[in-house]
Structure 1
């Protein structure tokens, strides 16, 4: 069966590539999700890495969000949208903003495509691949209204901490892509990672904010609920670009 994108592999990390913050893994898709990728990905998705499914681009070679969404609106980037339930719910409740969900895991991306179709969402698009690669190469500085990263991989082993998303180098990139006044919202149920998130984000002189109670606009996903049932405390950190 021919898929619209390479559903099982990502480009191998080369010596000069940045270290990835996510795990590449193979998972069964099932008939419904295969169908979603074949029918819906060409309409509402693009690939970060695969030249056969590229994003629309401006004459300058950057991501053309007007062509992607069919309008001009504030843009939220979701890094690692998981199974898409939180993204779909927030986008449905906030129709005046556009939402770009970037996910490397194909079952999650397919699940979100099905939610877009089921709920008739017109303000959500999906990207398959590495969000940091997309932000570095294709997103203009100062162009995002918000960046969300909910429950990124905590990489608990010390030797893997370099793979964590929230660290100074990556935060500098995310902050640069936000407009002044734009927000970066992260959440985790891994206590040591929560401390790192708080420390890294509050140390950046161009960001203001800190740990907050879970905002009502962030839905509790099935993944989060499983952690809460196990007694995991969830920490939300929201910071705003101030200059």
Structure 2
């Protein structure tokens, strides 16, 4: 399989390394220098590419998707912070009849974490003396906050704990309301990613933690997603990959 990388930061470089190990050819690498405004993504530059993988910046996602779709190619998106544009992206995918797979986190471990949290939240829903909160820690270079993964964890909780109605992520200078779910973020050093969910009551606390040790797991997940997406049309998430393997 041949891929193109859109974005060549730490994740892009790790995907390139993992692709080489798996005998997958990286045909094109698009950076801010050669792809500002998606100008580098053309039918010619993608002529030998099966699937593109985007780990760029949130503001570039829609134009990258449009350019890739105009070339009739499919795309995996690991960039987060653009989900308010999801409807627009879904429209592009439908009109151009391509495949698109997005996920806030491509780690297999985190996708298992999603499943475990779903079960735990469903159980906690029955016991209203437990409160719940989310904390995430990432390296100081991460541009979005809260992380897309933290927001995905929040949605799982909102869907399963009925007394929680909304997410609040800004700094609080007042008492939090019982129906609010607080997500806090820390940016420090070189932390790849730590996500924790705490269920707290007067009698005890239950804490669930996922710690990413390096970017290899994310890269392998993105490559696996690209292999799975090849030849498919429509919009998918990592959940579709996990449940079909």
Greater strand share, 1 or 2? 2
Whether TM-score is above 0.5 comes out as no
Structure of greater Rg: 2
Name the structure, 1 or 2, with higher relative contact order (CA <8 Å, separation 6+): 2
TM-score normalised according to structure 1 size: 0.39
